[in-house]
Amino acid sequence: MCGRFVAASPPAEIAAYFDVDQVSDATLDPNYNVAPTRDVYVVYADGGTRRLDPLRWGLIPSWAKDMAIGNRMINARAETVASKPAFKSSFARRRCIIPADGFYEWRQIAGQKRKQPYFIHRPDGEPYAFGGLWAEWRGTDAAGEPVTVRSTTIITCAANSRMAELHDRMPVILPAAAWDEWLDPEDHDVDRLGRFLVPAPPELIEFHPVSTDVNNVRNGGAQLIEALDTSSS
């Protein structure tokens, strides 16, 4: 799964990298510890326009009675994304890219009670393009006022050989050659699109241990991705 990631790049930089046409006026602060239910930048096509907007992480299907269901929909499994009711409509019509500067995973260390967190990133320093879905939900907030919420989820697949050293799942990472087809809202061929839902090449994965400070979602600074000194352990 993918439960925490890093989103620290400026929106203008993200927009240029993903060839975005329109950037939202709403901006997000750099966050090195993005947690579920937070807003995250998402690249998606709205009509003929490629947009970069903040969306809520945790997909809320259009048919949901309330927003709470999104808390459990932060990831969508590649194996069932085309058939699971919460995701199949979005997979067919509302696919997106979630830019990430890296993500975290935890591994059990022999003889220790707490798991060791690791920061995973590309060796070349470029951002990951996580394959994702988005949805639009209309309902009411806690005060009974009408609201419209756009939300997103990250698709996960089986881990590649490098990622398997930490976990048996990983985010779907889309190559640049797939972006246009993936983001095309007029392309509903889910069988053909399914070919993108595969593990990324192992050479895109590099990782190092980091401080357990990342376990606390209130911590969000750049120090979280610094390599932990394990020389004395």
**Positions marked active-site:** 2, 105
User: DSSP per residue over 6-69, as a string?
Assistant: EE-S-HHHHHHHTT-SEE-S-----EEEE-TTSEEEEEEEETTEEEEEEEEES---TT-SSGGG
Which residue do the tokens 């500067």 mark?
101
Burial of 83 (0-12, 13-18, 19+ CB in 10 A): exposed
Cα 64 to Cα 85: distance, rounded to the nearest angstrom: 11
* Residue 151 contacts residue 135 (beta carbons within 8 Å): yes
* Residue 53 contacts residue 27 (beta carbons within 8 Å): no
* Residue 217 contacts residue 33 (beta carbons within 8 Å): yes
- Cα distance from N-terminal residue to C-terminal residue, the chain: 28
Cα 205 to Cα 98: distance, rounded to the nearest angstrom: 17
Which residue do the tokens 């993005």 mark?
34
